[in-house]
Amino acid sequence: MSNVKSYTDEQLLERVKQLKSFKHIPTEYWLLGVRSSEDAPNKYDDKIYLFVGERFLKVVNATTNPGTPILEGGYLKYNKVGAALVAANEWYYGVWTYGLHNGKMPALRQVGPFKVFRDGDKDKKSEEIGTPIVGSNYGINFHTCNYDLDSKFIGENIGGWSAGCQVVNNVEQYAMIINMVKKQPRITYCLLDEF
C-alpha cells in the first residue's frame, strides 16, 4: 500500500514540466515515478503512473528504492560503492527498451543513461549519498516481483527484487502495462520526489 499523496493529472504534468531536465512531454507511452517521502524500509510505498502524451492511463504501487537486503550490504554483489538509487526530479528520455530482466522476465531494460546515487552506509534507508554518477550500463530496469506474469501475486516486501530497479508489486497490473508498451522502441521515464 502506497502512502504517496494522490495527485491530479494536471498537478503531475505541471510538476514534471518545471524540472531542469524537461525537454518535452513524450507523444507516446511514458512512465512517471513518484518516490514517497516516508520511504518505509523494504515496502512498495511509491507510485508509478503510465501516460500516453499528456493523457493519464494507469497508476500502480511500486518501489523506486532498493530493498533492505541490498541496502544492508547486498549491493556488494553488484557494486562495491553502494546500492543504486535513481536520482529524483529528473527526466530520463528514451532510457528503456523492451527485453528480458535477468534473461527471464519481460521487462523494460536500461539502454539510456540514468543519474544514480550510491548508498553504501548499510542502513535500511535509501539516501542520496555523495555525488551522483551517470551511466547507461547499471541494469536499472522496470519489472515486477514475480517471474510468472500469469500469477495474481502482489508483493509486500521488496527484498532482493530491487537493487536500483523500478519495481511494480502487482504482477497482474504490471503485465497490463508491459503488454501495452512493449512494441514502442524506447520508453521515457521521469522520477519525482513526493511534493
- Going by C-alpha positions, the residue among 130, 108, 117 that lies closest to residue 183 is 108
C-alpha cell at 20: 531542469
pLDDT at 24 over 90: yes
The pLDDT value given to residue 1: 60
pTM of the model: 0.96
The pLDDT value given to residue 2: 67
- How far does Cα 134 stand from its chain's mean position? 16
* Average pLDDT rounded to a whole number, residues 1-25: 93
Give 76-107 pLDDT, tens digit per residue. Answer: 998 999 999 999 999 999 999 999 999 999 99
The pLDDT value given to residue 129: 84
